[in-house]
Copies of this chain bind each other. A is one copy, B any other.
Amino acid sequence: MNFAKILSNKIALKNAGVGIVGMGYVGNALAQVIAKARFSVLGIVRDTEKANLINNQKVKRIKATAEINSIANCDIILVCVQTPIFVDKTPDLSFIKKAIIQISQYLRKGQLIIIESSVPVGTTKNVILPILQKSGLIAGVDFFLGYSPERVDPGNKKFTLKDIPKVVSGYDKKSKDLVAKFYANVLRKVVPVSSLETAEMVKLLENTFRLVNISFINELAEYTKSLGVDISETISAASSKPFGFLAHYPGPGVGGDCIPVVPYYILDDAKKRGINLKLLEQAGIINDDRPRKVAQRTLEVLKKTKMKNKRKVLLVGVSYKPDVNDIRESPALRIWEILTRRGISVSYHDPFVPNINGFSSKNLSKEVVKQHDMAVIVTNHSNIKFNTLLSFKKPILDTRNVFKDGKNLNLFRI
């Protein structure tokens, strides 16, 4: 039987059932766009509670289940589980391995497995493929395997997932063609590359480019500060150059599950190969140091403004970037931790994050501002009424350049 041909026809007719293992940010965003393209989507999640949550939303063509054996009923399986790093910055592939072992148990002839998670280069071929082939089925003959890195950008209102071209690759030509055909039916544009490893590297490059540039601008901001030059004005003027420049702004450090994580897949593997990526390593160090710098500056400002015996700090915005509720690797958490250790009482306001660690988000009312000695703006959600912070002339450490006027005496930068 020509399984590739059969699946190809199913895709053309939109009869191919799509299973998604891991229904977090990425899995969910993909489910939406795939369902809109008229494919049936089944989210495979860890417990019935999460399954019920998804099923209760009653999105057309999206269902969820906690029953792993449903994998057998899907024609195409997207793997969107998290791939974090350990504390020592080495990749933690335990979640993806576990997912692949489960898939392997229910793998059947004619299925297409597409890895969407960011992974160290070589993972699809050297880690995932052997687990899948333990089923006794052969890749490229019995089943098909591809890698297509997710480019979900939470909070991005300018580009919907459908408009973002998708890089696709396959273990063999049949696999690649099937991945390309599937996504061509879902999104506006696919970008095929020559190997699984290239597609894996594309994602690492994209995220690492961001880390390097954000770290560079954070480093440079130390210099412009000493000059008395406004770095944001400088960046914004440089952005008027229509080629050869891309704006990145300084801030309290990058968070999320990609930018502070993915570059370490490169660094870790390069080190094993005896390759010393000093520039990238330095970028990582700068980023890791940002929350400490913000905490240190907070303490300085409290001292400078004679607030040193007062010790109540309000963090404004705690998620890792504007207009999302994701707090993974958020610099706010580390700032909070350091300030607490230094005897500061921390509370927070974040319209996207109602609770963290037993604390609840405070309303950003005049009363709340009055109760605090200082505010630290960590995340500039578009729906925060920052002007309330100005009511009582308390010092504000503005790490996101929310307030443009440098002449406000209560306004401080990192």
Consensus secondary structure, chain A interface: helix
Chain B residues with CB under 8 Å of A206's CB are 238, 241, 244-245
Which residue of chain B lies nearest to A283 when distances are taken between CB atoms in the complex?
A: B279
B243 adjacent to A159 (CB under 8 Å) = yes
Q: Which of A24-32, A195-203, A360-368 contacts B (4 or more CB under 8 A)?
A: A195-203
Q: With A201-B229, A226-B273 given, is the CB distance from A163 to B242 under 8 Å?
A: yes
> What's the minimum C-beta distance from A163 to chain B, rounded to whole angstroms?
7
Q: Is A53 an interface residue (CB 8 A)?
A: no
Q: Is A189 an interface residue (CB 8 A)?
A: yes
Chain B residues with CB under 8 Å of A270's CB are 223, 226
Chain B residues with CB under 8 Å of A283's CB are 279
A279 adjacent to B215 (CB under 8 Å) = yes
Q: How far is the CA of A285 from the CA of B279 in the complex (A)?
A: 10
Q: How far is the CA of A216 from the CA of B207 in the complex (A)?
A: 13
A122 adjacent to B227 (CB under 8 Å) = yes
B198 adjacent to A243 (CB under 8 Å) = no
Chain B residues with CB under 8 Å of A269's CB are 223
Chain B residues with CB under 8 Å of A151's CB are 241
Which residue of chain B lies nearest to A277 when distances are taken between CB atoms in the complex?
A: B219
Chain B residues with CB under 8 Å of A216's CB are 208-209, 212, 279-280
B219 adjacent to A201 (CB under 8 Å) = no
Q: With A212-B213, A229-B197, A233-B193 given, is the CB distance from A240 to B158 under 8 Å?
A: no
Within 8 A of B (CB), among A214-255: 215-216, 219-220, 222-224, 226-230, 233-235, 237-238, 240-246
Q: With A243-B156, A246-B246 given, is the CB distance from A220 to B163 under 8 Å?
A: no
Q: How far is the CA of A285 from the CA of B278 in the complex (A)?
A: 10
Q: Is A282 an interface residue (CB 8 A)?
A: yes
Q: Is A335 an interface residue (CB 8 A)?
A: no
Q: Is A167 an interface residue (CB 8 A)?
A: yes
> What's the minimum C-beta distance from A283 to chain B, rounded to whole angstroms?
6
Q: Is A414 an interface residue (CB 8 A)?
A: no
Query: What is the interface residue range for chain A against chain B?
Result: 35 or more
> What's the minimum C-beta distance from A99 to chain B, rounded to whole angstroms?
24
User: Contact partner of A202 among B202, B210, B237, CB < 8 A?
Assistant: B237
B282 adjacent to A240 (CB under 8 Å) = no
Q: How far is the CA of A240 from the CA of B275 in the complex (A)?
A: 28
Q: With A159-B243, A227-B121 given, is the CB distance from A220 to B208 under 8 Å?
A: yes
A238 adjacent to B279 (CB under 8 Å) = no
Q: Is A356 an interface residue (CB 8 A)?
A: no
Q: Is A164 an interface residue (CB 8 A)?
A: yes
Chain B residues with CB under 8 Å of A277's CB are 219-220, 222-223
Q: How far is the CA of A227 from the CA of B224 in the complex (A)?
A: 38
User: Contact partner of A205 among B189, B234, B242, CB < 8 A?
Assistant: B234
Within 8 A of B (CB), among A149-184: 151, 153, 156, 158-159, 163-165, 167
Taking each of A230, A279, A285, which has the highest tally of chain B beta carbons within 10 Å of its own beta carbon?
A279
Instruction: Show 27 A/B contacts (Cβ-Cβ < 8 Å), sorted by A.
Output: A153-B244, A158-B243, A165-B240, A167-B238, A193-B233, A194-B233, A197-B227, A197-B228, A197-B229, A198-B234, A198-B237, A201-B227, A201-B234, A205-B238, A206-B241, A206-B244, A210-B244, A210-B245, A216-B279, A222-B275, A223-B266, A223-B270, A226-B275, A278-B282, A278-B285, A278-B286, A282-B282
Inter-chain pairs besides A164-B242, A191-B237, 14 sampled, C-beta below 8 Å? A153-B243, A153-B244, A156-B243, A165-B240, A189-B240, A198-B237, A205-B238, A206-B238, A209-B245, A210-B244, A216-B280, A222-B277, A278-B286, A279-B283
Could you list which residues of chain A lie within 8 angstroms of chain B, going by C-beta atoms? 121-122, 151, 153, 156, 158-159, 163-165, 167, 189, 191, 193-195, 197-199, 201-202, 205-206, 208-210, 212-213, 215-216, 219-220, 222-224, 226-230, 233-235, 237-238, 240-246, 266, 269-270, 273, 275, 277-280, 282-283, 285-286
